[in-house]
């Protein structure tokens, strides 16, 4: 007996029953295909919506919160910033170059859909171990895809993360964040209105690529290699030149106030764009499937309606403006076709010709508002059997362990144009990226800057998803403080395993609570996000990996922030509490100890450390600043040394635990000798613990009683780690 | 009156506004010229900016050279007007035959975006007249196809005629003779791979690029008699 068609499309039996109830009849094949893509996990968030409601989303500066194509905040001077983060994990696992490239293309469309010009991309990337050839192949392809698409489309990639860990061996994480700016008065939303208005499809023709990408590919896990290759046709192919012209054409349409609403075509293609715009606008829409330009003859209506061909937008325009719209598109060599008309009522009807046979007839809102909502079972794991960090013996050579954790990521970032638009004050490799804030209409330099950071830590979240996620938000806040910025808004990308596993659902729920707690404590709203589930291979889910994107503002940018710099003869201070808890640390995890209990986050202490750090940076009192994160105090100090070409001599680090512990709320600050008293007094006034670690000096990394490594050796290992792994040889 | 610089916009160009901003910050006037234009208007210099004109389809610059604007650009160059190609613009100028040689893929087969140090080899050009021979400038590169190549006769000519304007101190892309920038025989058409507009502001990592673009403004001003 063959499988029922709804199951082949990814719908459950219960969901098929619901669809029949909504339509009050049996759905035809086309309708079923449309429901299947819209009710997929990827499009409907059916497993996570219930929990996401617990996140704080409001603040006076929020113009658009979650649920639209991007979150938007008011950043002053008549400028709004639009920001969004997404995952393209499964496509990138199968077809690394195109998976990553089309991830970039998709997020750009989400941003210019809001009327914003995309000005920056960030890419948090996670792959299997560097010594695994397949993981290197995926990593190299993903980086090339981001480079190939992002550079050519003309949007700089200004930062990100790259993590190699066994948990991602079968399922890499390729997240992408995009930031755009717009004159506040140009904000547009993805909705249709005005009966008789026209739906105009802009951009690429529609092909057979990416059919069912959201349902077949993004909403199920990987089992073995055979099924991966079978899913390859579900990956789309990107064309950055088409997208570049589409961006320019759409921004000109918006500048000239020619569109009532506009929506990108991403997951679920035309089905999603037409049903969402109609549903948000409280109207119906008739779509002529024969008016949609196709790449090849003989495409079935269900293929056209669910194709995820890239570089397409749907604009709702008034009939009177159509000629001008077509003229602008012609100038930019962008294809434009009227494919639908806004109607009274609430039905989305797909027709064979404008007056032709009705091929599908569904309530527009049923495709997304009526999508199922699951409260999937959650189950906390039993008492952890994972060994705690105290099970690991003290290192024979702490210096060697330390240097082995140093990785220069410029092998990645030098493949990305990170300077276009002349905004990049601090680019990839800094604690946070800093971009000059210029008015997108006039070009006027406000003298202020936007700052962004992306952070995730699966090791912390594997130990304790709630506390680990809160610590991740805290790290982002501190990263912004290190460049003198205050936080404005969070977007998140929640990368988790199979939600049908109750422990994974528990992790997701806990992580959301941790994020909600931290965001409330820091007064930062969550204005958008993406949930990526089914990140698993061979039945094993990845470690929970919530990734936080935090946008902030530098209120007065007068100098380049000091960065992770050591200056010969300057004093090295540690701000914040002591810790020697190795739970969740990279050092312990790499040695198989993934258990234990994380340090709690003290919100008052953390805020005091962040405020003080920000004040030191803005006041020009610090010559160097770097937060303590993965690898602990040891790695933070060593990173400062190798990136400045200056060694250090420090004491007061008791043992390897204190050296590698990753407890929160700590920043290394470097000050000139004549500033020392002032800075210490400021710390005491702010009730921030301050430890005088030692001196920046010489050509060795010396931590009394623990580490004594030559700077040259550490620098070589740091610089060559990625080039050697990827076979590009030493860079020097 | 300030020198007026026209910056050509091909579909897929992306550095045009950056060049306009940098030129204006140095006291010049700048405006964008659409690639479909059949005349240049009232300008004293032309810049072909960086980016991916026509998506670099076929080869970088291979399609852009057929844009309508390239006719008037060639006429302007023949008449002695300063014409500068930055990065993709350099590639367009070689494809259009306004400069010799070609730019092939970087020797490392990777896109490279980073600051490099170039040495000024000649000050006799529209883009180096305000610099000094031997001066070292730190300016970012941002390209996949920046590996300059030409036949031996051409390289001999470039050397003999002092038409190599910039060389890399530490060759990042495999370019013949470490060439980063050259000019034509009349010294008014210049191509270079580094992006001077990205090094004109102290907050953006240096101002060495301003020396290069001031040379362009001087050449433009001299032409218009300013």
Please report, for chain B, the start and end positions of each structural domain, with discontinuous segments joined by +: 4-224
**Contact between chains at B108 and A728 (C-beta distance less than 8 A):** yes
> Could you report the predicted ipTM of this complex, rounded to two decimals?
0.96
Helix, strand, coil share of chain A (percent; to 5): 40, 25, 35
Within 8 A of B110 by CB-CB distance, chain A residues are 414-415, 728
| Mean pLDDT for the stretch of residues A75-94 | 96
Which of B55, B110, B197 comes nearest A152 by C-beta? B55
> What is the Cα gyration radius of chain A?
26
Within 8 A of A557 by CB-CB distance, chain B residues are 203
Long-range contact pairs involving A599-602 (C-beta distance under 8 Å, separation at least 24): A599/A663, A599/A664, A600/A467, A601/A467, A601/A470, A601/A471, A601/A474, A601/A518, A601/A664, A601/A665, A602/A577, A602/A664, A602/A665
Which of A245, A416, A557 comes nearest B203 by C-beta? A557
pLDDT of res. A185: 87
Tell me the pairing of strands B83-86 and B45-48: parallel
Nearest C-alpha in B relative to A148: B111
Q: How far is B162 from chain A (nearest CA, A)?
A: 30
B204 touches chain A (CB under 8 A): yes
How many other CB atoms are there within 10 angstroms of residue B203's CB atom? 18
Q: Which two tokens stand for residue B186?
A: 């009349």
The band of A731, judged by pLDDT with boundaries at 50, 70 and 90, is very low
How many other CB atoms are there within 10 angstroms of residue A408's CB atom? 20
Residue A291 burial by CB count (10 A; 0-12/13-18/19+): exposed, middle or buried?
middle
Q: Which of A522, A490, A520, A516 is nearest to A605 (CA)?
A: A522
Measured distance CA(A719)–CA(A162) in Å, rounded? 15
Measured distance CA(A200)–CA(A247) in Å, rounded? 15
The proportion of chain A whose per-residue pLDDT surpasses 90, expressed as a percent, equals: 87
Q: Is residue A492 part of a domain?
A: no
Q: Is residue A463 part of a domain?
A: no
Alpha-carbon distance values, A46 to A12, A130, A501 (Å)? 13, 35, 15
In sequence order, the 6+-apart residues with CB closer than 8 A to the CB of B9 are B16, B32, B33, B34, B35, B49
Residues in chain A whose beta carbon is closer than 8 A to a beta carbon of chain B? 147-148, 151-152, 154, 239-242, 244-245, 332-333, 410, 413-422, 424-425, 436, 443, 557, 559-560, 728
Whether B37 and B68 have beta carbons less than 8 Å apart is answered as: yes
pLDDT of res. B225: 66
Which of B111, B140, B203 comes nearest A425 by C-beta? B203
How many other CB atoms are there within 10 angstroms of residue A368's CB atom? 18
Measured distance CA(A669)–CA(A652) in Å, rounded? 15
Give the DSSP H or E segment for B147.
Answer: strand B147-149
- Measure the N-to-C terminal CA separation of chain B; round to a whole number of Å: 7
Q: Is residue A701 part of a domain?
A: yes
B31 touches chain A (CB under 8 A): no
**Contact between chains at B203 and A559 (C-beta distance less than 8 A):** yes
Q: Is residue A631 part of a domain?
A: yes
Within 8 A of B17 by CB-CB distance, chain A residues are 421, 443
Whether A461 and A543 have beta carbons less than 8 Å apart is answered as: yes
Q: How far is A430 from chain B (nearest CA, A)?
A: 14
Measured distance CA(A101)–CA(A210) in Å, rounded? 14
How many CB pairs lie under 8 A apart between chains A and B?
85
Q: How far is B98 from chain A (nearest CA, A)?
A: 24
Q: Which of B61, B51, B42 is nearest to B3 (CA)?
A: B42
Q: Which of A491, A363, A255, A454 is nearest to A19 (CA)?
A: A363
Tell me the pairing of strands A284-288 and A347-352: parallel
Give per-residue pLDDT as tens, A567-609.
Answer: 999 999 999 999 999 999 999 999 999 999 999 999 999 999 9
Within 8 A of A408 by CB-CB distance, chain B residues are none
Give residue A705's domain range: 561-731
The band of B162, judged by pLDDT with boundaries at 50, 70 and 90, is very high
B4-224 is classed CATH 3.90.1150.10: no
Nearest C-alpha in A relative to B13: A154
Q: Is residue A517 part of a domain?
A: no
Give per-residue pLDDT as tens, A267-305.
Answer: 789 999 999 999 999 999 999 999 999 998 999 999 999
Local structure of residue A216 (DSSP, 8 states) = I
Measured distance CA(B103)–CA(A584) in Å, rounded? 49
Give the DSSP H or E segment for A199.
Answer: strand A198-203
Which of B15, B55, B114 comes nearest A414 by C-beta? B114
**Contact between chains at A422 and B14 (C-beta distance less than 8 A):** no
Give the DSSP H or E segment for B213.
Answer: helix B208-224
Q: Which of A713, A703, A665 is nearest to A686 (CA)?
A: A665
Q: How far is A575 from chain B (nearest CA, A)?
A: 27
Residue A185 burial by CB count (10 A; 0-12/13-18/19+): exposed, middle or buried?
exposed
Within 8 A of A415 by CB-CB distance, chain B residues are 110-113
Give per-residue pLDDT as tens, B24-44.
Answer: 999 999 999 999 999 999 999
B178 touches chain A (CB under 8 A): no
pLDDT of res. A732: 38
Within 8 A of B54 by CB-CB distance, chain A residues are 241
Q: Pick the catalytic residue from A6, A29, A51, A88.
A: A88
Residue B132 burial by CB count (10 A; 0-12/13-18/19+): exposed, middle or buried?
exposed
Strand boundaries in A256-319, DSSP class E: 261-264, 284-288, 312-317
Q: Which strands make up the sheet holding A357-363, listed edge to edge?
A: A261-264, A312-317, A198-203, A336-343, A284-288, A347-352, A357-363
Measured distance CA(A525)–CA(A233) in Å, rounded? 38
Whether B200 and B137 have beta carbons less than 8 Å apart is answered as: no
What are the φ/ψ torsions at residue B136 (nearest 5 degrees)?
-105, 125
Alpha-carbon distance values, B206 to A425, A527, B138, B211 (Å)? 11, 36, 7, 11
**Catalytic residue check, A88:** yes
Measured distance CA(B141)–CA(B170) in Å, rounded? 12
Nearest C-alpha in A relative to B144: A415
| Mean pLDDT for the stretch of residues B102-120 | 97
Q: Is residue A170 part of a domain?
A: no
Give per-residue pLDDT as tens, A495-517.
Answer: 999 999 999 999 999 999 999 99
Q: Look up the pTM and report it.
A: 0.95
Active-site residues of B: which are they?
Answer: 87, 195, 197
Residue A729 scores a pLDDT above 50: no
Lowest pLDDT segment from A181-195, A522-536, B206-220: A181-195
**Contact between chains at A154 and B21 (C-beta distance less than 8 A):** no
Q: Which of A478, A522, A515 is nearest to A636 (CA)?
A: A478
The band of A627, judged by pLDDT with boundaries at 50, 70 and 90, is very high
What are the φ/ψ torsions at residue A546 (nearest 5 degrees)?
-75, 130
Residue A189 scores a pLDDT above 80: no
| Mean pLDDT for the stretch of residues A56-82 | 96
Nearest C-alpha in B relative to A414: B113
In sequence order, the 6+-apart residues with CB closer than 8 A to the CB of A596 are A388, A389, A390, A463, A581, A582, A583, A584, A588
Whether A571 and A649 have beta carbons less than 8 Å apart is answered as: no
B41 touches chain A (CB under 8 A): no
Q: Which of B8, B105, B11 is nearest to B47 (CA)?
A: B8
Alpha-helix runs per DSSP H in B134-207: 152-160
Give the DSSP H or E segment for A450.
Answer: strand A445-456
| Mean pLDDT for the stretch of residues B97-117 | 97
What are the φ/ψ torsions at residue A730 (nearest 5 degrees)?
-70, 145
pLDDT of res. A223: 57
Query: How many domains does the structure of chain A reveal?
Result: 1
CATH number at residue A668: 3.90.650.10
For CA atoms A381, A382, A385, A388, the dihedral sign is: positive
pLDDT of res. A227: 52
Q: What is the dihedral of CA A661, A666, A672, A675, to 10 degrees?
A: -140
Which of B22, B57, B113 comes nearest A419 by C-beta? B113
Q: Which two tokens stand for residue B155?
A: 């390289």
Q: What average pLDDT is seen over chain A?
A: 94
Strand boundaries in A242-368, DSSP class E: 261-264, 284-288, 312-317, 336-343, 347-352, 357-363
| Mean pLDDT for the stretch of residues A307-333 | 96
Give per-residue pLDDT as tens, A20-68.
Answer: 999 999 999 999 999 999 999 888 999 999 999 999 999 999 999 998 8
CA atoms within 13 A on the CB side of A404: 12
**Contact between chains at A425 and B140 (C-beta distance less than 8 A):** no
Measured distance CA(B118)–CA(B140) in Å, rounded? 10
What are the φ/ψ torsions at residue B17 (nearest 5 degrees)?
-70, -30
Within 8 A of B195 by CB-CB distance, chain A residues are 419
Q: What's the distance, CA B117 to chain centroid?
A: 16
Backbone dihedral region for residue A294 (phi beyond 0: left; psi -120 to 50: alpha; all else: beta): beta
Local structure of residue A267 (DSSP, 8 states) = T
Which of B11, B21, B114 comes nearest A332 by C-beta? B11
Q: Which of A359, A381, A192 is nearest to A289 (CA)?
A: A359
Give per-residue pLDDT as tens, B66-81.
Answer: 999 999 999 999 999 9
Residue A186 scores a pLDDT above 90: no
Whether A138 and A206 have beta carbons less than 8 Å apart is answered as: no
In sequence order, the 6+-apart residues with CB closer than 8 A to the CB of A382 are none
Within 8 A of B55 by CB-CB distance, chain A residues are 152, 239-242, 244
Buried b / exposed e along A525-541 (16+ C-beta atoms within 10 A) = bbbbbbbbbbbbbeeeb
Q: Which of A705, A727, A730, A728 is nearest to A715 (CA)?
A: A730
């Amino acid at each position: 007996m063959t499988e029922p068609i709804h199951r082949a499309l990814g719908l459950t039996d219960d969901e098929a029953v619901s669809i029949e109830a909504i339509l009050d009849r049996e759905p035809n094949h086309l309708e079923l295909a449309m429901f299947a893509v819209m009710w997929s996990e990827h499009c409907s968030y059916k497993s996570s919506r219930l929990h996401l409601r617990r996140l704080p989303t409001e603040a006076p500066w929020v113009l658009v919160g979650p649920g639209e194509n991007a979150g938007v905040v008011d950043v002053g001077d008549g400028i709004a910033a639009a920001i969004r983060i997404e995952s393209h994990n499964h496509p990138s696992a199968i077809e690394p170059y195109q998976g990553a490239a089309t991830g970039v293309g998709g997020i750009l469309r989400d941003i210019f859909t809001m009327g914003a010009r995309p000005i920056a991309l960030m890419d948090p990337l996670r792959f299997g171990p560097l010594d695994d050839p397949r993981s290197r192949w995926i990593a190299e392809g993903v980086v090339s895809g981001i480079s190939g698409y992002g550079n050519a489309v003309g949007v700089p990639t200004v930062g990100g993360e790259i993590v190699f860990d066994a948990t991602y061996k079968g399922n890499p994480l390729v997240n992408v964040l995009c930031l755009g700016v717009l004159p506040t008065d140009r904000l547009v939303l993805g909705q249709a209105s005005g009966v008789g208005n026209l739906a105009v499809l802009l951009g690429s023709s529609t092909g057979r690529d990416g059919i069912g990408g959201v349902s077949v590919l993004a909403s199920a896990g990987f089992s073995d290699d055979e099924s991966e290759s079978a899913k390859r046709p579900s990956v789309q192919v990107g064309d950055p030149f088409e997208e570049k012209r589409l961006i320019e054409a759409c921004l000109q349409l918006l500048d000239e106030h020619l569109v009532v609403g506009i929506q990108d075509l991403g997951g679920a293609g035309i089905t999603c764009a037409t049903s969402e715009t109609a549903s948000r606008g409280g109207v119906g829409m008739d779509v002529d499937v024969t008016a949609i330009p196709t790449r090849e003859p003989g495409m079935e209506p269900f293929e056209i309606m669910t194709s995820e061909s890239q570089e397409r937008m749907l604009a709702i325009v008034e009939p009177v403006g159509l000629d001008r719209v077509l003229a602008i598109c012609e100038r930019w060599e962008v294809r434009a076709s009227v494919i639908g008309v806004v109607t009274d009522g609430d039905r989305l009807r797909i027709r064979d010709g404008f007056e032709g046979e009705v091929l599908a007839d569904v309530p527009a809102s049923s495709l997304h508002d009526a999508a199922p909502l699951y409260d999937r079972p959650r189950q906390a794991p039993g008492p952890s059997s994972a060994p705690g960090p105290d099970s690991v013996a003290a290192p024979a050579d702490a210096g060697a362990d330390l240097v082995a954790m140093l990785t220069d990521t410029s092998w990645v970032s030098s493949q990305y144009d990170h300077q276009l638009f002349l905004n990049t004050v601090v680019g990839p490799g800094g604690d946070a990226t800093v971009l000059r804030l210029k008015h997108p209409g006039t070009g006027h330099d406000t003298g202020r800057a936007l700052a962004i950071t992306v952070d995730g830590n699966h090791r912390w979240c594997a130990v304790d998803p709630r506390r680990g996620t809160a610590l991740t938000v805290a790290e982002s806040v501190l990263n912004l403080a290190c460049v003198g910025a205050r936080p404005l808004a969070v977007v998140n990308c929640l990368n988790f395993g199979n939600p049908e596993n109750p422990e994974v659902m528990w992790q997701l729920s806990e992580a959301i609570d941790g994020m909600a707690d931290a965001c409330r404590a820091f007064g930062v709203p969550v204005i958008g996000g993406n949930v990526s589930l089914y990140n698993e291979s061979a039945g094993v889910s990845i470690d929970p990996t919530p990734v936080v994107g935090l946008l902030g503002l530098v209120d007065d940018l007068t100098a380049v922030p000091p960065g992770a710099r050591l200056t010969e003869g300057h004093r090295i201070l540690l701000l914040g509490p002591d810790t020697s808890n190795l739970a969740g640390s990279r050092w312990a995890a790499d040695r198989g100890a993934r258990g234990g209990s994380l340090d709690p986050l003290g919100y008052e202490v953390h805020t005091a450390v962040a405020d003080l750090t920000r004040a030191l940076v803005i006041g020009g009192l610090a010559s160097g600043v770097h937060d303590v994160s993965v690898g602990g105090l040891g790695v933070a100090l060593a990173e400062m040394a190798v990136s400045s070409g200056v060694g250090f001599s420090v004491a007061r680090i008791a043992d390897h635990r204190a050296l590698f512990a990753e407890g929160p709320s700590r920043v290394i600050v470097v000050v000139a000798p004549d500033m020392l008293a002032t800075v210490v007094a400021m710390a005491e006034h702010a009730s921030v613990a301050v430890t005088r670690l030692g001196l920046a000096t010489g050509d060795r990394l010396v931590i009394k009683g623990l580490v004594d490594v030559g700077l040259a050796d550490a620098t070589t290992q740091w610089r060559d780690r990625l080039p050697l792994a990827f076979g590009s040889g030493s860079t020097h | 009156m300030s020198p007026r610089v026209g910056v050509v916009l091909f579909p897929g160009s992306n550095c045009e506004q950056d060049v306009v901003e940098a030129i204006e910050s140095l006291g010049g006037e700048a405006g964008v010229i659409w690639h479909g234009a059949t005349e240049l208007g009232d300008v004293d210099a032309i810049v072909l900016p960086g980016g991916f004109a026509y998506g670099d389809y076929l080869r970088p610059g291979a399609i852009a050279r057929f844009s309508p604007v390239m006719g008037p650009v060639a006429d302007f160059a023949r008449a002695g007007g300063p014409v500068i190609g930055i990065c993709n613009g350099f590639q367009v100028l070689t494809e259009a035959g306004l400069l010799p040689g070609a730019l092939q893929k970087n020797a490392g087969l990777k896109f490279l975006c980073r600051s490099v140090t170039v040495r000024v080899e000649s000050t006799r050009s529209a883009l180096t007249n305000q610099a000094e021979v031997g001066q070292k400038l730190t300016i970012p590169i941002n390209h996949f196809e920046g590996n300059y190549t030409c036949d031996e006769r051409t390289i001999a000519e470039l050397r003999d005629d002092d038409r190599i304007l910039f060389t890399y101190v530490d060759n990042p892309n495999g370019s013949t003779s470490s060439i980063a920038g050259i000019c034509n025989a009349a010294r008014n058409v210049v191509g270079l791979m580094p992006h001077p507009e990205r090094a004109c502001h102290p907050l953006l990592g240096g101002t060495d690029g301003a020396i290069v673009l001031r040379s362009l403004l001087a050449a433009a001003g001299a032409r218009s008699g300013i």
